[in-house]
Chain A
């Protein structure tokens, strides 16, 4: 198993604790996490990415229990092994496209994938020297996908990557995520409330909320 979780529970202050179904996923597999808005999907994604510590239960990625590592080691582990695509691109505005990806190499202390080839594959090779502000929304989205992929992570997490896209682009982005994940042999977890995604990725779990 590349990633497996056990009895994860998390409670936001002043709210009833959330329980999440267990996840067991191998490399090269894809999984959807479905649920209504406010059901705690994003909380689960944060826990899986090591951004949030669960109050109970454990997350194991590639044989490493996230509970057992802390501080800068956890940050480094995340940088090396987990790529996260957010709902919005959130690129670093003062940097060019290429430099945004270089930062990921720098902080994870990992050589990862060759940046220009990756950008070419995602169809934004010509933009590598562009300022982030000069990108269209679709291009920015693809740069943020490239940033999640550039360190060849073992696990790719995507938070609502298609919510603001039309059918055609939804299909393109999903296709991109799936092919790239396969290529680097990573497990892919997509958190969404978008029913269209179900047609492309059969395996799913549902988060019910509190």
Chain B
């Protein structure tokens, strides 16, 4: 026997009270763990996905929506912009690089993005298998899409119209030309192809079968810049890199006031979004701290009450040779053991909770999170929990220290 086992015996002797306190504390800490994980990974991911993109240009509408749809592929696009205007903009000397995107279709909920090869360069994408698209209807699929849908190079599939599942199907089959290695970026969840492919898919809808000009389907697609297209052609958004810091001042104003398009900065819009979310996060944090506070109080009350019943036990321990210090240590040990268990259960619960959210949300943003990454911040959760344990044991330990054996034993 030793003090650890004795503490443990006392804890397990009151399974209900111990269990309740562990659960309360664990819930509070689980919320904090989830917040910590989501905040860390979201911000990381958000910055990583937007890296190299200074400005997004698209149809007029909500700037936040433009960023979410153009950079993170979460929200619906604001609409399309004429190819002509996009091309005009690309001639500006303020712009170093411009990548057009054409959205509009999906494959089982994964977005099909028409773009050029620069988009792959932006994310420094590596190929796991195959090669980049060169012909219309050739696609490159992201790692997550390939894994979840079991796609291999050479496979064909049909797309659906719209950017979420359940819309009507297009008829022409896409062919997988390459599969990307996992990167942890947004492109893991995308199906990439040429802008021409997106155009042809939608033209087919309009044209009847016999009118279709099949020759263009075997031409090579454009690999950089804008594809050739007539006046009616459109793209969805443009990702822009500035040539100089000067562009940050001039370009957005120029686009917003001088064209029918709008420009939005990912950094600015995301800062605004986090500010909006901040209210919800603080609310959750408040709830978590409330739970932890209550559990701290619960542990204090449990220790204090059990101490009243146990004063006799403590006196007996003194009779058989235990010192005051050992009794104080025993009480602290009980509080600390309780909160440590609570902390471990809480951290585990937080990770499992996140894992459930992720598995419920296969195509969404949450899908790109990882539930089993452990952060340094979680060590602070442990430290915090131990603090609660020590604080809750303070008064009971002091009262154990003060107990006079003789008085306690003569009381009947």
Contacts and interface: CB of A to CB of B under 8 A. Distances in A.
Contact of A94 (B9, B320, B322, B406): B9
B157 interface: no
A108 B13 contact: no
Interface stretch (B53-61, B69-77, B113-121, B310-318): B310-318
A130 to B, nearest CB: 15
Nearest to B321: A79
Q: Is the interface of B mostly helix, strand, loop or mixed?
A: helix
B321 A76 contact: yes
A49 B322 CA distance: 14
Given A51-B406, A71-B323, A106 B313 contact: no
B312 A90 contact: yes
Given A75-B323, A106-B1, A92 B410 contact: no
Interface string A69-92: 001100110111000101110111
A104 interface: yes
A75 B401 CA distance: 13
Given A102-B1, A103-B6, A51 B319 contact: yes
Given A51-B319, A75-B318, A92-B313, A46 B410 contact: yes
Contacts of B10: 94
A51 B319 CA distance: 8
B23 interface: no
Interface centre among A84, A94, A99, by most chain B C-beta atoms within 10 angstroms, is A94
Given A80-B321, A103-B6, A51 B1 contact: no
B319 A106 contact: no
Given A95-B9, A106-B2, A46 B406 contact: yes
Contacts of B320: 78-79, 103-104, 107-108, 147, 151
B322 A107 contact: yes
A9 interface: no
A1 interface: no
A78 B317 CA distance: 11
A72 B1 contact: no
A156 B321 CA distance: 14
B324 interface: yes
Interface string A45-84: 0100101100000000000000000011001101110001
B409 interface: yes
Nearest to B320: A104
A75 B313 CA distance: 15
Given A46-B406, A92-B316, A78 B1 contact: no
A135 interface: no
Interface centre among B319, B321, B410, by most chain A C-beta atoms within 10 angstroms, is B321
A46 B409 contact: yes
Contacts of A42: 410
Contacts of B322: 75, 79, 107
Contacts of A106: 1-2
Given A93-B13, A106-B1, A107-B326, A51 B321 contact: no
B322 to A, nearest CB: 4
B339 to A, nearest CB: 20
Interface string B1-36: 110001001101100000000000000000000000
Contacts of B1: 95, 99, 102-103, 105-106
B219 interface: no
Contacts of B319: 49, 51, 78-79, 84
Contact of A72 (B13, B312, B324, B406): B324
A78 B321 contact: yes
Contacts of A84: 319
Contacts of A72: 323-326
Contacts of B2: 106
Contact of B405 (A51, A94, A107, A147): A51
Nearest to B13: A94
A84 B406 CA distance: 12
Contact of B321 (A46, A92, A93, A108): A108
Contacts of B321: 75-76, 78-80, 104, 107-109, 151
A66 to B, nearest CB: 13
Interface in B362-412: 405-406, 409-410, 412
Nearest to B314: A92
Nearest to A108: B321
Interface in A154-185: none
Contacts of A151: 320-321
Interface in B277-320: 312-313, 316-320
A151 B322 CA distance: 14
A94 B12 contact: yes
Nearest to A147: B320
Interface in A6-63: 42-43, 46, 49, 51-52
A85 B410 CA distance: 13
The 5 closest A-B pairs by CB, nearest first: A79-B321, A72-B323, A94-B13, A107-B321, A108-B321
10 contacts: A46-B406, A51-B319, A72-B326, A78-B318, A79-B321, A94-B9, A104-B320, A109-B321, A147-B320, A151-B321
Interface of B: 1-2, 6, 9-10, 12-13, 312-313, 316-326, 405-406, 409-410, 412
Given A51-B318, A106-B1, A107-B326, 12 more contacts: A46-B406, A51-B319, A75-B321, A75-B322, A76-B321, A79-B320, A79-B321, A92-B316, A94-B9, A95-B9, A103-B317, A106-B2
